[in-house]
Amino acid sequence: MSSLSPPPALKRLGQNFLIDPNIVRKIVALAELGPQDHVLEIGPGRGILTEALCRPAGQVTAIEIDPRLHEYLETRKQEFPNLKLILGDALTHPIDSVPSGAIVVANLPYYVSTPLLFRLLSDRNRFPRMVLMLQNEVADRLVAKPGGSDYSVLSVMAQHAAEITKAFRVSAQCFRPRPEVGSAVVLLRTRAQSGLTPQEESSFTAIVKAAFAHRRKTVVNSLRDEGYDQQQVGEALESLGLSPTIRAERLSLDQFVRLSSLIKRPAEEH
């Protein structure tokens, strides 16, 4: 056992530690781990989830940004011979230090959950499955369908990259300190192949961002304001059988993919 007691929580690093063993069990069960699996955990904190991941998994790599928590976990390392601890920022730490095929399991720090999600999704070929605790509002955006107010760039980009299920909600009482927002656990099964070339991928991403850039405007006007050719956008919508006054929140993932194949990106300014 560790002789150090865990350091107090730092709000600015999103340190809301899980204290409910039942939630920990449910998260680990959702990850369906076996001895052949390598797990990447982001933000192990005081190690409640790490400990539960080390039991079924073959190997766990855990990246923690807080040197105090890193040091605390180091003192417990002899309890977990299959744990590799890394002191670093999961947003910038080289991802290739984790073997391809790793399963990501994390109670994410909420202040940085969206950029972390985008980073993980941009490397989705490496991660077949991710089980993530997030703000409930972000979980709702991840699974939102066209037509609702939660449907956003994040919904389209995430659903393009993965099949996503909102697994269960988690009450604030399951954490210390308690977070100010509701939480939920999502399961993402990443899509290995999108069927698009890298160039088509980047046109698709640019169109989705440009279409949602001016949410209250029509797709035609929003894309025009982002430098796209208005006439070409109008004709592309027409050829897809879509109204010229349609807004981004009504376009399905598939319609975004088709639209991006019909429209040229504006020339880069610089």
Using CB under 6 A, list all residues that contact ligand SAM.
Answer: 13-18, 42-46, 48-49, 63-66, 69, 89-91, 107, 109, 112
Residue 109 CB, shortest distance to ligand SAM, in Å, is 3
Between 45 and 128, whose beta carbon lies closer to ligand SAM? 45
Closest of 169, 133, 126 to residue 40, by C-alpha: 126
CB 18 within 8 A of CB 48: yes
Q: Which residues partner with 184 through β-bridges?
A: 134, 169
Between 29 and 243, whose beta carbon lies closer to ligand SAM? 29
Between 51 and 249, whose beta carbon lies closer to ligand SAM? 51
The residue nearest ligand SAM at its CB is: 43
Between 12 and 216, whose beta carbon lies closer to ligand SAM? 12
Taking CB atoms within 8 Å and a gap of at least 24, the contacts of 250-255 are 250/146, 250/147, 251/146, 251/211, 251/219, 252/146, 253/156, 253/159, 253/160
What are the tokens at 214? Answer: 């001016």
Residue 110 CB, shortest distance to ligand SAM, in Å, is 7
Residue 162 CB, shortest distance to ligand SAM, in Å, is 21
Closest of 139, 165, 256 to residue 207, by C-alpha: 256
Residue 235 CB, shortest distance to ligand SAM, in Å, is 44
